[in-house]
Amino acid sequence: MTVSLPLVFVLGFFAWGAVKFLGVRTWVVVLIALFGFWLSHTFMAPAIESGTRSGVDVINGSHD
């Protein structure tokens, strides 16, 4: 059985858990999210996308 969840939902769940159970401040979560958006508009974006796709392929077990 395959379950498809948007990445934003999964990351939001982990962020909620970090704030609720680990005591991470909400402003830290917001700062990390904003830094991620900023980083996606830099020259490092292709490397990040490639690494993310490779990680997803490893987890899914698909090989090209």
Per run of 10 residues, the mean pLDDT along the chain (length 64 residues) is 78 92 93 87 88 85 68
**50 vs 10, 21, 27, CA distance in Å?**
20, 32, 29
The predicted model scores a pTM of 0.59
The answer to whether position 20 is within a domain reads no
Residue-range definition of the domain harbouring residue 29:
25-64
The alpha carbon dihedral of 10, 11, 13, 17 has a sign of: positive
Number of domains in the chain: 1
Residue 56 is predicted with a pLDDT of 82
The answer to whether position 54 is within a domain reads yes
The answer to whether position 43 is within a domain reads yes
